[in-house]
Structure 1
Amino acid sequence: MEIIEILGYKRANLGKAESKKLRINAQVPGVLYGGQEQIHFYVPMVLLRDLIYTPNAYFVDLNIEGVVYRCILKEIQFHPVSEMILHVDFLQIFDDKKIKMEIPVAFVGKAIGVAKGGVLSKKQRKLAVFGYPKHIPSIIDVDVSNLDLGNISRVHQIQTEGFTILALPSTPVASIEIPRALRSAASKEEKKGKK
């Protein structure tokens, strides 16, 4: 798993007025929990960009005034109108504690059904996984090369090593849709064959 380093600063004063001041100065208030104590901090908004506006999953080395905490982004709050980042929550992680995390899905291979004119439909962009940090992958590869027209790839077909996917085994991940034009051509051929 790739790691992003983010620099943060401890917050002396808590409360709505203080949070508002921070946001005006392009700083985002946040909380780090999961360790021995909760740590209230703030980080420059610009430093969160690579972590938030990406489909990728990352571990974070949160450096708060020289002390580095390995963590993951747990929750983020946006302003409903301006989309400005209002607050971030990080969860400190430890090698001996399992974590739950959303991991992006990558579709690999060229599906047989696509070569025949079908369309690859990506049903899941991310999957929630559970495991020890060292086993959490940065991407879940889903091989679609064997998918023919009308076939579906499901969660139980994904190879996992040291982690569990937190979705029903029957959950569809990808399928090969048959376009209407291809369907009508097939039914015309069928009708011809019956004559």
Structure 2
Amino acid sequence: MKTIEIIGYKRANLGKSESKRLREEGMVPCVVYGDGEQEHFYSPAILFRDLIYTPEARFVKLNVEGKEYDCIMQDNQFHPVSESILHVDFLKLKEDRPVKMNIPVKLKGNAPGIVKGGKMQLKVRHLRVKALPKDMPEHIEVDVSKLDLGKSVKVGEIKQENYEIQNNNSVSIATVIIPRALRGKKTDEEGEDA
């Protein structure tokens, strides 16, 4: 999985007024935690573009004034009106401790239902995956080459290798939906057969 670097600076003062001042300067208040300790810092908002505004999952190499952490973004908060980043939480990675991440779904293959006039509908763009950091996939491939009209691929049908998908097995990931025009034809054909 790709890793991006984020540079941070320790926060001397905590509190709402200090956080507000940092945001006005184009900075994002952050915290990194794990191993029973936490460190508060801030980073330039521009550095989060390739972490937050992307469909891909990424590991983060945090550098807080020379102290480095391998981690993942655990949570982020946005302003309800301006949608600017208010706060970001990071979780330290340990090689022997599994973590949970939202991993993007990537469709593979050509569905026969699409050739017949159906339309592919991606119902779930990310799956919640639990794995050791070394086993965390960049994306989860979902084979749609057997999907006919009205058929779906469910979470339970995905082969899991060294990771565990946390979503319910009955959740549909992708479906070939039948367009209204084709639904009418099927009903007419059934009526003629009667």
Q: TM-score, normalised by structure 2?
A: 0.97
With 7-16 and 184-193 compared, the bigger mean Cα shift is at 184-193
| AA in 1 matched with 2:183 | R
2:149 is paired with a residue whose SS is: coil
Instruction: Output the CA distance in 1 between the equivalents of 2:84 and 2:175.
Output: 36
Q: Residue type of the partner of 2:11?
A: R
**Which aligned runs of 4 or more in structure 1 are off by greater than 3 angstroms?**
none
Report the Cα distance in structure 2 between the residues aligned to 1:93 and 1:176, rounded to whole angstroms. Answer: 38
Match of 2:43 in 1: 43
Counterpart residue type for residue 125 of structure 1 = R
Q: Which residue of 2 aligns with 1:169?
A: 169
Give 2:102's aligned amino acid: E
Gaps (5+ residues) in structure 2? none
Give the drift of 1:27. Answer: 0.5
Q: TM-score, normalised by structure 1?
A: 0.96
Structure 1 residue 46: Cα displacement: 0.4
Q: Structure 2 counterpart of 1:66, which letter?
A: G
Shift, 1:106, TM fit: 0.9
2:139 corresponding residue in structure 1: 139
- The offset of 1:36, in angstroms, is 4.6
Summarize the alignment of residues 114-133 of structure 1 with structure 2, pairs less than 5 Å apart.
114-133=114-133
- State the Cα distance separating 1:149 from its structure 2 match: 0.8
Could you tell me which residue of structure 2 aligns to residue 102 of structure 1?
102
- Which SS does the other structure have where 1:38 is aligned? strand
> Residues 128-170 of structure 1, C-alpha deviation per residue, up to 9 Å, x if partnerless?
0111111110101101011011111111111211110001111
Aligned residues: 194
Q: Among all aligned residue pairs of Structure 1 and Structure 2, give the percentage whose two residues are the same amino acid.
A: 53
Deviation at 1:12, TM superposition (A): 1.0
